[in-house]
A = this chain, B = another copy of it.
Amino acid sequence: MGLGRPRAFDTEETLGKALVVFQRKGYEGSSIAELTEAMGINPPSLYAAFGSKEELFRKALERYVGIREDFSREAFSAPNAREVVERLLRGTADQLTDPQSPPGCLLVQGALSCGDAAEPIKEELCFRRVAEEVALRHRLERAVEEGDLPRHINVAGLARYIATVSQGMAVQAAGTATRKDLHAVVDAVMQGWPT
């Protein structure tokens, strides 16, 4: 099993460092030189452990998405749709402005637009964003069946609306918005909640 020289670095730890860089500079904006420096390793170690820049990004993305899924699962467990959405948005506001990581969301900032080389990454991120929206829609559909959302409501539209606010908050966080600013946005959303 443990044949040959052992790795001098912890892959999970260095992956975390790479994630930070990707989150701050995006896929295209992060160079191998910058990544390796942040990870504390040399290029050949990076390629041996992660395959390529694209694979490295995908692995970082997987971790990032995993964290978000844990969080949404928790939010989805709220007793009614209103509570689900508020938990989701408040948690997003907090996460987007977490002082321990660059402001913003990898799903939005990773590669919103890019050159041809990064197109697959852009599409992957787009797919992940849609997946989150779909997950919310399913939760809202359940809410309709459980009676805490009126039947006449456009559930798909509502889910897309919440996803849109969430993504807009990511843009805001990438700019100058503070945590307090984002919560003020959530206030506005919740004030207009249906019923």
Contact = CB atoms under 8 A, between A and B. Distances in A.
A112 B115 contact: no
Given A109-B113, A167-B172, A194 B194 contact: no
A126 B168 contact: no
Label chain A's interface by main secondary structure. Answer: helix
A184 B154 contact: yes
Interface string A161-195: 10111111111101111000100110111011110
A159 B70 CA distance: 32
A113 B118 contact: no
A31 interface: yes
Interface stretch (A6-14, A22-30, A71-79): A22-30
Interface of A: 23-26, 28-31, 34, 104, 108-110, 112-115, 118, 126, 129-130, 154, 156-158, 160-161, 163-172, 174-177, 181, 184-185, 187-189, 191-194
Given A28-B29, A157-B188, 11 more contacts: A28-B114, A28-B115, A29-B114, A29-B118, A104-B113, A112-B174, A129-B171, A157-B184, A161-B188, A164-B185, A167-B172
